[in-house]
Amino acid sequence: GAGVSQSPSNKVTEKGKDVELRCDPISGHTALYWYRQSLGQGLEFLIYFQGNSAPDKSGLPSDRFSAERTGGSVSTLTIQRTQQEDSAVYLCASSPPGRTFTYNEQFFGPGTRLTVL
Amino acid sequence: GDSVTQMEGPVTLSEEAFLTINCTYTATGYPSLFWYVQYPGEGLQLLLKATKADDKGSNKGFEATYRKETTSFHLEKGSVQVSDSAVYFCALGSQGGSEKLVFGKGTKLTVNP
């Protein structure tokens, strides 16, 4: 079946502009995650959705970052007034419902490479 | 908070050499442990996992054993191939809360023919 998809695959923007990154999770997956992969920081957690609510936003680096999820499906990560340090690959992952006593696997999308000039 | 430490490399090996990538963790409770792999130009893929102490995860000739006493989850392969060249990430996930993954910084492996 279809995996997690993200768009755009690449985004180049000028400092100070706003950007929106989109994630389409695997159909039926209730949990959705955003991570950021940068050279200096490795892979960092940004935000977690369960359905349309975000019980954990602890990884968002500043109030310029926000995310929403609608219909329990598509999610959008918005970065306002972009800065050069926002340049990174933004990864989305989803995982299925039905928690058991073991951890649910996360399936990752290909990422959006953001470059802020 | 939870954290993962892995050898950062880069690691360069010849084909058929033995591979070990060390990974240790700090966590409360009983996390699940994972190795993810990122091949050049591709997204993160789950390589193997272990959900409780003494479990061994294995896939594609790679193995890792969940050692609670040493808080480790070292990745091993007996004979690497050129196609194993990739970046390998150790990660942990804790139950409860957000179940976010906490990653190590990644180890780049290059296998030469």
Task: For residue B3, give how far its alpha carbon lies from the nearest alpha carbon of chain A (Å).
Answer: 11
CA nearest to A102 within chain B:
B51
pLDDT at B9: 84
Percentage of residues in chain A having pLDDT higher than 90: 78
Q: Using alpha carbons, select from B43, B104, B93, B89 the residue that is nearest to residue A108.
A: B43
Comparing A8-22, A100-114, B98-112, the range with the smallest average pLDDT is: A100-114
Q: What is the pLDDT of residues B15-74, one digit of tens each?
A: 999 999 999 999 987 889 999 999 988 889 999 999 889 999 999 999 999 999 999 999
pLDDT at A5: 95
Candidates A32, A99, A106: best to mutate against B (most CBs of B within 10 A) is A106
Judge: B51–A103 Cβ closer than 8 Å, yes or no: yes
Kindly provide the residue ranges of all beta strands, DSSP E only, lying in chain A, ordered along the sequence: 5-7, 10-13, 19-24, 31-38, 42-50, 53-56, 65-69, 75-79, 88-95, 107-108, 112-116
- Output the six-digit token pair for B72: 């480790």
Q: Which residues of A touch B106 (CB under 8 A)?
A: 42-43
Judge: A110–B43 Cβ closer than 8 Å, yes or no: yes
CB A113 within 8 A of CB A96: no
Q: Does B51 touch chain A (CB under 8 A)?
A: yes
CA nearest to B92 within chain A:
A103
